[in-house]
Amino acid sequence: MNLLLFLVQVFIISLSGVLSPGPVTAAAIATGQRSRHAGALLAVGHGILEFPLMILIMLGMGRLLKLAYTQIAIGLAGGAVLLIMAVQMFRSIKAAQDTQEQRVKGGAILTGFTLSASNPYFLLWWATVGLALATTARGLGIWAFGLFAIVHWLCDIVWLEVLSLTSFKGATVLGGRSQKIVLLTCSGAMFFFGIFFICKALTGLFLS
């Protein structure tokens, strides 16, 4: 396959995962209320997990992620993490604005890493779709694999940065009331995803 054509394919397929609503999306909107570049920091944390994961999957970890009990364990642990973060986000609504700003700048990278690691669908995507793309990239050479990783991550950072910038501008224009509404909505989304992951994991456990 032509390298340029492959990278276009990577861009289009990556967007299918990047644009899908999820915990990282909710975090970008929520933290963007207080820090305009929170999305980029979330993407850095996401990438700290994602780049090594690409290599590990190529070395055989993809088979482990496909196992039923692995997905159940990830779903239970991930759901619990999301519930905790949802409660923390809800409590943060009453915190002072300056404290929130410092917290976002100091913790967005860790948040991006944690939310990615606790999302079973992120790991499953890499064990299936991501593995297929990585295998094709490796077949085209080491430079193709590197470009594949960069193009995929750029999709993440651009989209998350757009979300946080849009959220920040909206908070600036509409004021504190809209900020509280957005934070409440995002904490509710986090809570929903946490419950969903746990219920799906328990269903898989009882049916296995």
Q: pLDDT tens for residues 157-200?
A: 999 999 888 888 776 555 556 667 767 777 787 788 888 888 88
Distance of CA 5 to the CA centre of its chain: 26
> What's the pTM?
0.77
92-134 pLDDT, tens per residue?
A: 666 544 444 444 455 889 888 988 888 888 888 888 788 888 8
Domain ranges of the chain: 23-207
CA distance 24 to 4: 29
CA-based nearest residue to 131, from 70, 78, 59 = 59
129-142 pLDDT per residue, tens: 888 888 888 888 88
Whole-number Cα distances in Å, 134 to 10, 64, 145, 163: 10, 16, 7, 27
Distance CA 76, CA 124 (A): 15
Contact between 144 and 3 (Cβ < 8 Å): yes
Q: In 3-state terms, what secondary structure has residue 118?
A: coil
Per-residue pLDDT tens for 15-38? 877 877 788 888 888 888 778 888
